Amino acid sequence: MNVMKFGGTSVGSPQRMKEVAKLITPKAGEQNFVVLSAMSGTTNSLVEISDYLYKKNPEGANTIINQLEHKYMEHVDQLYTTEEWRETTRKFLCDEFNYLRSFTKTMFTSFEEKVILAQGEIMSTNMMANLLLEQGKKAVLLSALDMVRTDKNADPDFTYIREKTLQKLSENQGFDIYITQGFICRNAYGEIDNLLRGGSDYTACLIGAALQTDEIQIWTDIDGMHNNDPRIVDHTEPVRQLYFEEAAELAYFGAKILHPTCIQPAKFAGVPVRLLNTMDPTAPGTIINNKMQHGTIKAVAAKDNITCIQIQSSRMLQAHGFLRKVFEIFEQYKTSIDMVCTSEVGVSVTIDNTGHLVDIVNELKKYGTVGVEQNMCIICVVGDLVASNVGFQSLATGALKDIPVRMISYGGSNYNISFLVAESEKRRTLQALSDNLFTRK
């Protein structure tokens, strides 16, 4: 069995949905477990609806609901060939949109918001299941709400997920295609919840790991992971193979193609993840597996909206416990730190969540002189950067000889060297790295 996940654009139009229906039809004797995102733009619309409802503006919410309904109904006309399946799907969608409208009349809290956000995946999977049934395929829709659960820390409860997924499969034998929703789940209290934006990748990796499938395929609309950001830099190329840790670093540090934590379950289960392109299904894409290719730098990624905080204090000189005090302040405000650089009299850290910046800075001032720089960007270079691989880090640092680099972090893992630069230097930095690391190889 293969797990195949399709993102929003891959199911974003009737034409694309029909292409997906072809791709997920397995060869004789094989089975596919398919995870779908909401149609592209839908989750954003659902967020917007919720936003209006939080602001107690039911009219605003209804306008978006009506627009969305209109779009979906148009899709139905083009997606199915028989009036019977058009009617079945219209009826289902009509109930869905009336359900969304019902939230404009009740109290609105984060609980209701999560129910609203769940409807995008519920709609796309039902539409796909109906399409496959119309085509006479042996397909069945399984609800992710019965299989995927998070624990009290909002982390996926893997034991539960494995048990329930296996149970659902054994209750539904004899099908060629199993379909479920990405992103949505229940939380530890049984309420409807989700795995955060982009979370469908996570669902696919959790299910693939639970079922120990041969492969987890993540189908998007570009040809695998590129060695630099193709929207910013000229001459990027797809990376054919990545080690699990390399992919995790790239996903965390800005490569938008993958949800940052989704690689972990696949890595633990040893199931390779393959990134494929629905627009060009025969292209090789990128395989992410347990093989570390020595002596190569694979890719560069950038993470924006970074704030750098520097704390300088002579109290740090030959004292112990100073860093603990500093880090405790970030912990107290539930703010995670990305990069850290220390010297004997100071420490600089970066954060991306500035929700508590003022409080954090106020607390830090008890321990030293504090400076804050905003609009910074972390540039992360990923590959075989283990210390014994002498001279490799200098390839990256050498590329930046003309660029003001605010922080460098090397040695935290064997796969990464990160640079902090001003956002205004981002394009130049990424291009310089591409030119030096990849083009002139």
Q: Quick check: 273 and 225 in contact, CB under 8 A?
A: no
Give least dist CB 198 to Mg ion, A.
Answer: 4
Instruction: Return d(Cα 432, Cα 129) in angstroms, integer.
Output: 47
Residue closest to 129 by CA, chosen among 225, 45, 20? 20
Give least dist CB 33 to ligand ASP, A.
Answer: 16
The phi and psi torsions of 55 (rounded to 5 degrees) equal -85, 10
Instruction: Return d(Cα 192, Cα 391) in angstroms, integer.
Output: 51
Q: Which does 430 bind (CB under 5 to 8 A by kind): ligand ASP, Mg ion, none?
A: none
The phi and psi torsions of 150 (rounded to 5 degrees) equal -105, 160
Q: Quick check: 289 and 244 in contact, CB under 8 A?
A: yes
Nearer to ligand ASP, 7 or 260 (CB): 7
Binding stretches for Mg ion (CB under 5 A): 7, 198
User: Which residues pair with residue 238 across a beta bridge?
Assistant: 226
- Of the candidates 9, 34, 85, 198, which one interacts with ligand ASP according to CB under 6 A? 198
Instruction: Return d(Cα 326, Cα 185) in angstroms, integer.
Output: 36
Q: How many residues bind ligand ASP (CB under 6 A)?
A: 12
Nearer to ligand ASP, 114 or 426 (CB): 114
Nearer to Mg ion, 7 or 265 (CB): 7
Q: Which does 183 bind (CB under 5 to 8 A by kind): Mg ion, ligand ASP, none?
A: ligand ASP
Nearer to ligand ASP, 37 or 150 (CB): 37
Stretch that binds ligand ASP, among 93-101, 128-136, 192-200, 295-303 (CB under 6 A): 192-200
Residue 355 burial class via C-beta count within 10 angstroms: exposed 0-12, middle 13-18, buried 19 and up? exposed
Q: Under the criterion CB under 6 A, does residue 197 sit at the interface with ligand ASP? A: yes
Nearer to ligand ASP, 198 or 208 (CB): 198
Q: Under the criterion CB under 6 A, does residue 9 sit at the interface with ligand ASP? A: no
Spatial CB neighbours of 277, under 8 Å, sequence gap ≥ 6: 219, 220, 221, 222, 223, 224, 283, 285
Instruction: Return d(Cα 47, Cα 329) in angstroms, integer.
Output: 32
- Of the candidates 33, 183, 392, 415, which one interacts with ligand ASP according to CB under 6 A? 183
Spatial CB neighbours of 106, under 8 Å, sequence gap ≥ 6: 112
Nearer to ligand ASP, 45 or 227 (CB): 45
Nearer to ligand ASP, 48 or 435 (CB): 48
Q: Which does 12 bind (CB under 5 to 8 A by kind): ligand ASP, Mg ion, none?
A: none
E strands, 191-345, in order: 192-194, 216-220, 241-243, 273-277, 286-289, 297-312, 337-343
Nearer to ligand ASP, 50 or 200 (CB): 200
Q: Quick check: 251 and 202 in contact, CB under 8 A?
A: no
Q: Which does 38 bind (CB under 5 to 8 A by kind): ligand ASP, Mg ion, none?
A: ligand ASP
Stretch that binds ligand ASP, among 16-24, 101-109, 191-199, 206-214 (CB under 6 A): 191-199
Q: Under the criterion CB under 6 A, does residue 37 sit at the interface with ligand ASP? A: yes
Instruction: Return d(Cα 420, Cα 425) in angstroms, integer.
Output: 10
- Of the candidates 120, 224, 272, 383, which one interacts with ligand ASP according to CB under 6 A? 120
- Of the candidates 38, 64, 123, 127, which one interacts with ligand ASP according to CB under 6 A? 38
Q: Under the criterion CB under 6 A, does residue 200 sit at the interface with ligand ASP? A: yes
Three-class secondary structure of residue 359 per DSSP: helix
- Of the candidates 8, 12, 208, 272, which one interacts with ligand ASP according to CB under 6 A? 8
Stretch that binds ligand ASP, among 22-30, 196-204, 312-320, 366-374 (CB under 6 A): 196-204
Q: Under the criterion CB under 6 A, does residue 260 sit at the interface with ligand ASP? A: no
Nearer to Mg ion, 24 or 255 (CB): 255
Three-class secondary structure of residue 260 per DSSP: coil
Instruction: Return d(Cα 63, Cα 383) in angstroms, integer.
Output: 48
Nearer to ligand ASP, 263 or 341 (CB): 263
Strands 139-141 and 2-6: unpaired
Give least dist CB 167 to ligand ASP, A.
Answer: 25
Q: Under the criterion CB under 6 A, does residue 182 sit at the interface with ligand ASP? A: yes
Instruction: Return d(Cα 13, Cα 65) in angstroms, integer.
Output: 18
Interacting residue ranges for ligand ASP, rule: CB under 6 A: 7-8, 37-38, 43, 120, 182-183, 197-200
